[in-house]
Chain A
Amino acid sequence: MITLFQKAGLRYLFTHPWQTFLSSLGIMLGVAVILSIDIANESSGKAFDISMESVTGKTTHRLSSRQGDISLSNYTKLRTDARIKISAPVIEENVKVLVGEGFTATFLGLDPFSEKEFRNFISADLTGGDTQLAQFLSSSNTVLIPESFAREAKINSGDTLSLKWGDGFLSVVCVGLIKSNEDVSGDRIEQFIISDIETARKLFKKGDFVSYIDLILTPSEVETITKTILKDPVLQLSAAEKSNETAKSMTEAFRLNLNAMSLLALIVGLFLIYNAMTFSVVQRRKLLALLRAAGVTQKDIFIQVMAESIFIASIGTIGGIIGGIFLGKVMLGFVTQSLNDLYFVTTVQTVSLSPLIILKASLAGVGGTIIAAMFPAYEAARTSPGVSLKRSSVETKLKKKIVLFSIISFALLVIGVTILSVSGTGILTGYFGIFLLIIAFALQTPAVITFFVKVIEPIIKKLMGNRGKIGVRGVTANMSRTSVAIAALAISVSATIGVSTMISSFRGTVVDWLEQTLVADVFVSSQGLVSRKNEAVLDTSLIQRFLLIEGVKTLDFYSEGSGTINNKTVEVFGSHIDPENESRFNLKEGNSGTAWEEIREGSGVLMTETFAYKWKYKVGDQFTLQSPSGLIALKVSAIYYDYSSDVGHIAIDYNHFKKYWKNQKISGIGVYLKDNVDITVIQKNLRLMFPEESSVSIRLNKDLRDYSIEIFDRTFVVAGLLHILSVIVAFIGVFSALMSIQLEKEKEMGILRATGLTPGQMLKMISVQTFTIGLIAAIIAIPLGLVLAYCLIYIINLRSFGWTMQMSIDPVVLFQAIIIAVSASLLAGLYPAYKMSVTLPSKSLRDE
């Protein structure tokens, strides 16, 4: 049974819909942000698994040739001599589908009789059933394509497709669409064209060769292959699982950072909830006092306020979940883009929603609200009927506590700094330390308010007279309200300062680095289908051919291979650096003179800063690297700055690399031109050396730099979006705080209005107050923001990625912060001010 008293509580919420809405809105935003980040993370993670699986399937190993295609005789040997049970030959080619503006696609020639253990391409439902499958197999030019790709490229079953491959054209008939199988694949865009392997073998004139052979191997089979087939040095067996895992762990730091940002939004959200609940208690102080006087117990009131807060939390959480799903879709776009840019190629469209992340968001919303509402509920229940009628008692108490707050704040500061300095490389502990610093700053709010108001009060009085003074003093007079609002605003704004400074410092560092590193005039590289690294596909003969081009001065080039150190896969670059270009490596540690000597003679390696950080190597350290043809003893000669990937790599001299990674192709070539050479002509000439739809990219220095910066900027779009959200949350916080202040002071204002204050004057007075609030928030936000920036740059980013950045403080960012704080505050005060000013004095004073 709901008692009359409880009904009255609920009724209150319904009779004040706007207030209920505002309170819910804060929770809603907080929940939405958390949920959306989770959705983005989870969906992109799932998409990653799927895109890995859709290409590699359940493959454990892949047998390929270092010289390109692999002879089918090896497939025969695998099945007959080595008696390997599960194997599938694959032909993979890049083609351009000539439909509309054209789509680049991966053409896969598969053997459906070997495939069922590997991929679900063919075993997936065909929209037209088995007849299509029969057609697919029993004609010499038939293909299947995934439904999603067909939709995008506007291809129908039965269409004849023209494909551009190399210099030639191919014609194939699409005989069926593969249904996107939601539970396995989500709605991924699969830019694939699938044919029977025999069809592909003829189309691409493969003769007795295929691209590679996929395998599902048991450990003993791996041994058998190693002992038999791999005696041929041209062949290589690579473990698929391992590279998937490596690729996945790469993104962990990135995800963790996103999660942390969503937590920041939650902190701001909690402040807001606290504020909202306090407001609702304040509003009914008189009513609650009467109830207490009428015999309602403290416990009843406490439960009542808590129940209300849960009700509001429910509305907010439900709204937040709905909003979070929509926001999640937006976020997913950005996150996927960043992951694509940084790590691997994947496209997700389906939002994956697990009960777990919904539960997490709900818990944050409801649990957070319960915690935040405790104090107001306690406040409402605690005070005696008489005192409860006056809020000034709370204010008096708060003022007494300023010193206590300062002491706690100082203690938290010390603990926070200690945690940050002793926590080593922990990212989570890093965030916890930062969290303590934020709380420490927030606790200083009442002190800052008191001090600041004292300072500006005489100035304002001089400028605006008593009305201004009243306005300013209002900030201290209602400190229990204003301090929370100011703290919330300050935290949001400081986050803006912190993250903006971090990004601009990072950006500045990267731009400097790009300037210094990207000195070649033209870059030639080829990007892989799944992995974001440049695949070694360029033939070594290109080096000679490039050098023959008129106008080319020198070349730098590198080949990317992999090796293992202590059984962990690492990326190894075999780099040929023209001695003239050595200076483009900005060494962090190591002597540039001896380092290059060691590297050229083969005993030394160059290591990226990120690699050294993660592997804990210093200059002079020695280690053994497992290469395809044996162990190499190496020494860290130098560590250099590199912002190209957070995984990092080691680089050895190309001539040396060549000995161990036999037949390895080239991953990228940097071309240096003679003076006064038309760069675009060279670019065109280079382009002509490759077929049109080959994945080789030929970029000019400037283009590559712009492209790199573009990728960089895209990476931080998510961060930017989160800021906007937390500022919105803060804005709502300030808005509801000001509303509550103004509503409380209805009578006071009534008196002022009755004594002759015009609505315009009143508006001015309130604006002075909101302006002061904004200014104080900015004053707290700037140092806090800089502290945050420092922590993000030197603690969080270093621990997550291993990059050193030069912190640079942009005055524009600080100025922006002040503008944001003040304008948010002023704007939030407008409506309450307007409402106050139009209220008839008689109405406000009727009760007196």
Chain B
Amino acid sequence: MMKKKFGSLVLAATLASSLLFAACTNGGSPAPATSTPAPDTSEPAVVAEPATTTTSDVIKVGVVNNPPSESGYREANVKDMEAVFSAANGYELKTAYSLKNDEQLQAAQGFITEGVDYLLISAAETTGWDEVLKQAQEAGIKVYLFDRMIDVDESLYEAAVVSDMSAEGDTAVQWLLSQNLDEYNVIHIQGAMGSDAQIGRTGALQAQFDAGKMNCVVQQTATWDEAEAKKIVESVINSGDKFNVIYAENDGMAKGAVAALDEAGIKHGVGQDVIVMGFDCNKWALRELKAGNWNYDGQCSPFQAQIISDLIKGVKTTSDKKIINEEKGFDATTITDSDIDTYGLGE
């Protein structure tokens, strides 16, 4: 009996500690959104300036986002938010990070009761936000969506600043067509099936396959996994099929593909046998581009903060609720070091 009790005690303790883990992982989850901001201190990097200056001209912004550990994209996105909505720019920033929709909803509610001026949301899921956004509207809080759309009536938010993933695909395919190859034998490595990025970046290329302008050697998903991408390319090489383009839907998978090429002694990059294309513009990827090992990298801009800030301060106005964040594609022959510094994600 005693033993059992002890066992459950231990279990409870571990559970509690795992909750603590989870809380920290989410960068303080919904807790910092409530009136007791104590856990905030555990993660000073992502927490806003304490509310020392509560003068009326300070704009209070609550950001509900995914945690920076989600991806390199998110990491840059979070840093960008922190940089733009800084005290120096006249903002007071409150943040809540979670991968879970219900935790995000709670956090948003917390921000509303706390009385922020603006609510910025990148939702984990597209549904379930009606109630909270209505509450915000009643409280006179203006809502901006960034990075991800939500399934609600347009009247519930001011504007949505998002990437157009299919435009990213279009830009990349246009660039590829402009290379004027004799024939296009493409290895197409897809991201996690069904994700926005995968759908957008696949679309334009698929159209080329369907139109018969490009030849699909293999089209496989590596679910964003670098090692899986390497296996896919390795298998094509072993089968002896000919190919001259690798179109990988993110940088990591492109790197995996290149590793397979290197081991097989296949030359790639500028002026070589195989064209390598990636997405996301990680700094290390842009450096590969600069070195001529890769040919193209498509941007997926995490920098929405400035646009939103401009809208808040009235520097910019918009008639359209959906604002497309302009995104570039970089060519290995034209990329510069300053491009790497400006647009590169990560270190």
Q: Do A and B come from one complex?
A: no
- Residues of A participating in the B interface, judged by any CB pair closer than 8 Å: none
